[in-house]
A and B are shown apart, each in its own frame.
Chain A
């Protein structure tokens, strides 16, 4: 079945860039997503990328997709304290119909 994996924790200094990585197994994945979850809140879609793209940039966010290695990353430039949250990678594919499968999330903490 489909599987999405992420490292559990990342700590960066305020103002530095954060890079959160994700790997997935479903080669038919068509869309890959990054969601942000703040404590006690629901999931907020940050950005997504279609599988025929290899990069997408949106203000401080850059998504890189290596389809051959099934590797997705999210880079947050100039990381701020408000970026502290759990970041979930997710994927959907034609084979999984409308299902969105999530990774375990990466907890990003910011140090001064």
Chain B
């Protein structure tokens, strides 16, 4: 059974039109991460939640926001998608602290038209 579920798998949005990607987990993990992965590049951490504590990476654009209404769900909001935001977005969870395994979802591939 899938433990980290991302919906949808593929998302097409219009330039400038807000879009939300969702992630849910059945593992009851403390930490949820959002990574952006462009073609042939390393996944780049955008931000993560440790419980309700939000941790933004310094170089994450303001255009990207996140919400975690409860332990199970985390959302990535892109307020005004640009062509450069087309990428695979990966959600992951872990128990937290250093050195715990991160479980990844299958990702949502975002296309901006």
Contact = CB atoms under 8 A, between A and B. Distances in A.
Interface of A: 4, 30-31, 33, 35, 40-45, 48, 50, 86, 88, 92-94, 96-105, 107
A101 B48 CA distance: 12
Contacts of B90: 42-43
A91 to B, nearest CB: 9
Interface of B: 6, 31, 33, 35, 40-45, 48, 50, 55, 90, 92, 94, 96-107, 109
B99 A50 contact: yes
A45 B99 contact: no
A97 B55 contact: yes
Given A42-B107, A97-B55, A102 B43 contact: yes
Given A41-B107, A42-B90, A100 B42 contact: no
A35 B107 CA distance: 15
B102 A41 contact: no
24 contacts: A4-B42, A31-B98, A33-B101, A41-B106, A41-B107, A43-B43, A43-B90, A43-B92, A43-B104, A44-B104, A45-B103, A48-B101, A50-B99, A86-B40, A88-B43, A92-B99, A97-B50, A97-B55, A98-B97, A98-B98, A99-B45, A100-B92, A105-B41, A105-B42
B26 to A, nearest CB: 15
A40 to B, nearest CB: 8
Given A40-B109, A43-B92, A94-B98, 5 more contacts: A4-B42, A42-B6, A96-B98, A98-B94, A102-B35
Contact of A45 (B43, B96, B102, B109): B102
Nearest to A104: B42
B48 A99 contact: yes
Nearest to A93: B98
Which of B40, B41, B48, B99 has the most C-beta atoms of chain A within 10 angstroms of its own C-beta? B99
A105 to B, nearest CB: 6
B31 A98 contact: yes
A40 B45 CA distance: 19
